[in-house]
Amino acid sequence: MPPFEPSSFYSEWLLLLECASWQPDLGRIVELVRSANGPRLLALAEDHGVVGHLAARLRGLREDLVPPEILQALREQERAQTFTSLRMTAELFRILDHFASKAIGALVVKGPVLAVQAYGDPAMRSYGDLDLLVRQRDIRSATELMLADGYRAQVPLSAIEAGKIPGQYLFSKPDSNLLVELHNDFTLRYFPRRLPIEKFFERQIRVPLDGREAPALSVEGELVLICIHGAKHLWERLIWIADVAALVNRQAGINWDRVTASAREVGAERMLHTGLQLAEDLLRMQLPSKVSGQIHGDTVATRLARQVQKWLPAAGDAPPGLFERAAFRLRMRGGLVAAPAYLLRLSLSPTEEDWQSGAEESSTGFLEALRRPFRLARKYSRDRKS
């Protein structure tokens, strides 16, 4: 995508919003397609992760209304995503079977399960990795299984033995683009409070996926999780908001009292409110009137949602700077004590990116914590310059 200039892709951005909306205006889509720049539209859709949404809406139009080069490009990307989804789903069940053979419990989060729950189609939504929730006590055994299966571990066994806690336990296969991430209540740092992992396992559901069933979070738990995930990334991509809208609109039996209780349990009420407001305001998501009134009664969440809309069209190409990010996270958490404590924990808790070569045996937690703020400052300074 070109450098961020809102006027340079305004029509394309409005078209993506319309295509991602739960109740799209087809007349408006036709009007916007006619004025859209094809290459710019496709690049923006890819940056926002909504190629599937664009393809689904344009597929419903007469072919003479859509430039043939756009249709062809979308068909090719859809075909590639379908093959990727089939391959990753097959790998997902293979891993789950291996884990089950060693009595390792796992829940699938986001990825193909979210695509089915939100859109009814595992190939509708693109995803680059498989995310599993695994108890910390099983991480070593799970890592050994992944290594035996030909994966490379970003977090080595020596670091696990040394008690290092990364942002995720990441595995990659050298001969493919497969990525697998294992998460738990210790790695998911962006939860304001430690997630109640045993309750997640107790409330798990089975989601039909390619003729089998995958263990997954309850719909209520998944909704809170994807709102926290969107907040973690400051809602810089449209797909994260589209997921919220699609999940809420497709899952008619959501227990909103349980959603509220789950968000409160981990201190993520404002993260939930911001995500729901963005989905309602931008994508016409339908909420029960009582729930809509409650989330719009959170005036701080309303201001945060408006702030997000300033940088959202650029899909991360014009990210907020370090201090703006810090202020956003403070308001997102809320509370005179809780908010600074949350920001301090995020700023000082080292991840695998902060470990130097061989640091898993030698460095102390204190030195790693001191190193992290300087790395973050360098990282976001580079982002602003680029």
Structure confidence by residue, pLDDT tens digits, 8-41: 788 999 999 999 998 899 999 999 998 899 999 9
User: Do 239 and 90 lie in a common domain?
Assistant: yes
Q: What is the pLDDT of residue 362?
A: 47
- With bands split at pLDDT 50, 70 and 90, how would you rate the model's confidence at 381? low
Mean pLDDT of 57-79: 88
Q: Is the pLDDT score of 76 beyond 50?
A: yes
In terms of domains, do 199 and 300 share one?
yes
Task: State the DSSP code for 10.
Answer: H
Given 66, 100, 115, the domain boundary residue is 66
Could you tell me if residue 166 is inside a domain? yes
Q: Which amino acid would we find at residue 90?
A: A
In a domain, 267, yes or no: yes
> Which residues contact residue 103 at a Cβ distance below 8 angstroms, ignoring those fewer than 6 apart?
none
Number of domains in the chain: 3
Dihedral sign from CA coordinates of 68, 74, 77, 83? negative
Helix (H, G, I), strand (E, B) or coil at 98: helix
> Which of 290, 316, 342 represents a domain boundary (last residue)?
316
Confidence class for position 386, pLDDT limits 50, 70, 90: very low
Predicted pLDDT of residue 365: 54
Residue 71 lies in a domain: no
Helices and strands, number each (H, E), in the chain:
19, 7
Mean pLDDT of 141-161: 94
**Model confidence, pTM:** 0.89
**Would you state the pLDDT for residue 383?**
52
Residues 6+ apart with CB under 8 A from 255: 220
Q: Does 264 share its domain with 180?
A: yes
72, part of any domain:
no
In degrees rounded to 5, what are phi and psi of residue 289?
Answer: -55, -35
Structural domain includes residue 57: yes
For residue 246, pLDDT over 60 is answered with: yes
Q: What is the pLDDT of residue 143?
A: 97
**What residue ranges in the chain does DSSP mark as E strands?**
107-109, 130-133, 152-153, 169-172, 179-183, 205-209, 212-216
Same domain, 28 and 44: yes
Distance (Å, rounded) from C-alpha 235 to C-alpha 287? 20
Checking if the pLDDT of 252 tops 70, the result is yes
Query: What single-letter DSSP state applies at residue 183?
Result: E
Residue 8 CB: number of other CB atoms within 10 A?
14
Secondary structure letter of residue 355 according to DSSP = P
177/261 same-domain check = yes
- Proportion of the chain above pLDDT 70, given as a percent: 88
Q: Last residue of some domain: 289, 316, 343?
A: 316
User: How far separated are the first and last CA of the chain, in Å rounded?
Assistant: 13
Mean pLDDT of the chain: 88
Q: Are 304 and 372 in a shared domain? A: no
Give the model's confidence band at 289: pLDDT under 50 very low, under 70 low, under 90 confident, else very high: very high
Q: Which residue has the higher pLDDT, 159 or 63?
A: 159
Residue range 140-163: mean pLDDT, rounded: 94
Position 2 scores a pLDDT of 40
On whether both 178 and 134 belong to a single domain, the answer is yes
Q: Compute how many other C-beta atoms are within 10 angstroms of the C-beta atom of residue 137.
A: 9
Asked if 44 and 1 count as a contact pair (C-beta separation under 8 A), the reply is yes
**Residues 53 and 201 occupy one common structural domain:** no
- Whether residue 136 sits in one domain with residue 29: no
Confidence (pLDDT) at 260: 97
Residue 77 falls inside a structural domain: no
Closest Cα partner for 30 from 10, 60, 68? 60
Work out the angle between the directed axes of helices 322-333 and 269-283 (0-180°, nearest 10): 110
Tokens 């039996």: give the residue.
253
- Residue 60: CA atoms inside 13 Å, Cβ hemisphere, count? 12
How does residue 360 score in pLDDT terms, banded at 50, 70 and 90? very low
Query: How big is the chain by its Cα radius of gyration, in Å?
Result: 21
Instruction: Give the Cα separation of 360 and 4 in Å (integer).
Output: 40
pLDDT of residue 97 exceeding 70, the answer is: yes
Q: Are residues 254 and 329 in the same domain?
A: no
Range of the domain at 246: 84-316
Same domain as 234, residue 139 = yes
Task: Write the CB contacts of 3 (distance below 8 Å, at least 6 apart in sequence).
Answer: 317
Q: Given a cut of 60, is residue 70 above it in pLDDT?
A: yes
CATH number at residue 91: 3.30.460.40
Which amino acid, 141? S
Query: Higher confidence at residue 362 or residue 235?
Result: 235
Phi/psi of residue 86, each to 5°? -60, -45
The arithmetic mean of pLDDT across residues 268-272, rounded, is 97
Which tokens belong to 351? 């991840």
- Do 176 and 298 share a domain, yes or no? yes
pLDDT per residue over 117-139, tens digit each?
999 998 888 888 999 999 999 99
Note whether residue 48 is domain-resident.
yes
The answer to the question of residue 226 being in a domain is: yes
